[in-house]
Amino acid sequence: MKLALILNVIDPKIGGVMIMGDRGTGKSTTIRAIADLLPKIPVVKDDPFNSHPTDVDLMSDPVQQLLSEGQSVNTSTMKVPMIDLPLGATEDRVCGTIDIEKALNEGIKTFEPGLLAKANRGILYVDEVNLLDDHLVDILLDSAASGWNTVEREGISIRHPARFVLVGSGNPEEGELRPQLLDRFGMHAEIRTVKDASLRVQIVEQRSQFDQNPYNCIEEWEDKQQVLKAQILEAQSLLPEVNIDFSLRMKISQVCGELDVDGLRGDIVTNRAAKALAAYSGKNNVDSEDIKKVIILCLRHRLRKDPLETIDSGTKVTQIVDKIFD
């Protein structure tokens, strides 16, 4: 789970993480904790969509218009946004709303940004994603596919960039996730309750220490946190230089072919994740060990479900990987 989240911070194009597992295993805690590791990003000052000052793909239309007219924009930096999407959120809260009254009376397009606007260039987290209403799932699918959110009301249309890393968590016992949405997640981690008594005691003790004195606890781990943050920043700068050999790319596609994975997302995400892991390890070239560490996370949720199959999908991936790579 931690590795999948860190790799998505290094390369947001991996496409997010779906974390499924038992109740009370620290899924939400871990996801919300990743916010402290996120670096600062350059943004256009006072822009509600966190527009990038130079990258056209990550700019809102008004900023693009200003630059095309030769005007300059003020810039600043902000922490990568981490936005929670509540299960009971309305469509207007998620997408944003247009003030129709102002538009009709004054002829001005006034847009009240929603959660998708705030999450642009950041992380959008949906807890209990398998309980999300279908109409909100459709909105997420549209935005994740196009990278833009379009709001249309009474013949008035406004759009803005909505490129975010989608992170979801849930308990499989509470309901299945729609296959279209599941396929949008780049990686899928399955969490099980720890059975080892000594580990359980360690977790309980750490939790008790945190409850008694949170600030001491944060201070105690501050150095390790800073080391991890620096490691992520180094990996982000190294990522463009990382290469993956053609023979390894062939093996990844062979695995996907043998597992009968639909589409090519599995191949693309595995290549990206392996590169991100190599960068995280400080290497310029991907090796087979990097691929083995990430391939289950990238393919487990893409296999066709057979109700009569007793074997776990992760084990199935491991068997094919061992056969092809060894």
265 carries an active-site annotation: yes
* Number of Cβ atoms within 10 Å of the Cβ of 232: 18
Question: How many residues in total does the chain contain?
Answer: 326
Q: What is d(CA 243, CA 283) in angstroms, rounded to the nearest whole number?
A: 9
Q: Provide the 8-state DSSP code for 24.
A: T
Q: What are phi and psi for residue 173, nearest 5 degrees?
A: -70, -20
Strands in the chain per DSSP E? 17-21, 40-44, 75-79, 82-84, 96-98, 111-113, 123-127, 148-153, 156-161, 165-170, 187-191
**Strand order across the 82-84 sheet:** 82-84, 123-127, 165-170, 17-21, 187-191
Q: List Cβ neighbours of 281 (8 Å cut-off, separation of 6 or more).
A: 290
Nearest to 277 by CA among 2, 38, 32: 2
- Judge whether 276 and 298 are in contact, CB under 8 Å: no
Q: For residue 213, give both structure tokens.
A: 């004195």
- Judge whether 42 and 24 are in contact, CB under 8 Å: no
Catalytic residue of the set 121, 163, 184, 265: 265
Q: What is d(CA 46, CA 321) in angstroms, rounded to the nearest whole number?
A: 49
Cite the active site residues: 265
